[in-house]
Amino acid sequence: QVQLVESGGGLVQAWGSLRLSCAASGRTFSSFSMGWFRQTPGREREFVALIDLNGGNTRYADSVKGRFTISREKAKDTVYLQMNSLKPEDTLVYYCAASSTSGPEGAADFGSWGQGTQVTVSS
């Protein structure tokens, strides 16, 4: 298991930007693919973005493609989600997750989760 702590959420106006951070500890950071998910209470977690073990491959949900960018900084054991052109429908709790699977497909492939950080976009 790896411990994950998100930060960087908050309130922003529509078309603004936020950068979420997720600090990892407990196991070798480079052993995990990292992902971001988001969720409305009472609904399933929605995939947002993922980055592979080496940071060379990324994948995004269609709803955020071109607006969000996932990256990882090995020296700080941290993964980031840069969110630009935010829309009110991006208002959700965002979760960082780690997967020891080489090619994770969905939430079930991620075994470690952070506590979540709220992002609120006002219109």
In a 10 Å sphere around its CB, with 0-12 CB exposed, 13-18 middle and 19+ buried, how is residue 44 labelled?
exposed
Q: Looking at residue 13, what is its pLDDT?
A: 98
Q: For the residues of 48-90, what is the DSSP string, one character each?
A: EEEE-TTS--EEE-TTTTTTEEEEEEGGGTEEEEEE-S--GGG
33-75 pLDDT tens trace: 999 999 988 888 999 999 998 888 999 999 999 999 999 998 9
64-114 pLDDT tens trace: 999 999 999 989 999 999 999 999 999 999 999 999 887 888 889 999 999
HSE at residue 39, side-chain half, CA atoms within 13 A, is 16
Q: Looking at residue 54, what is its pLDDT?
A: 81
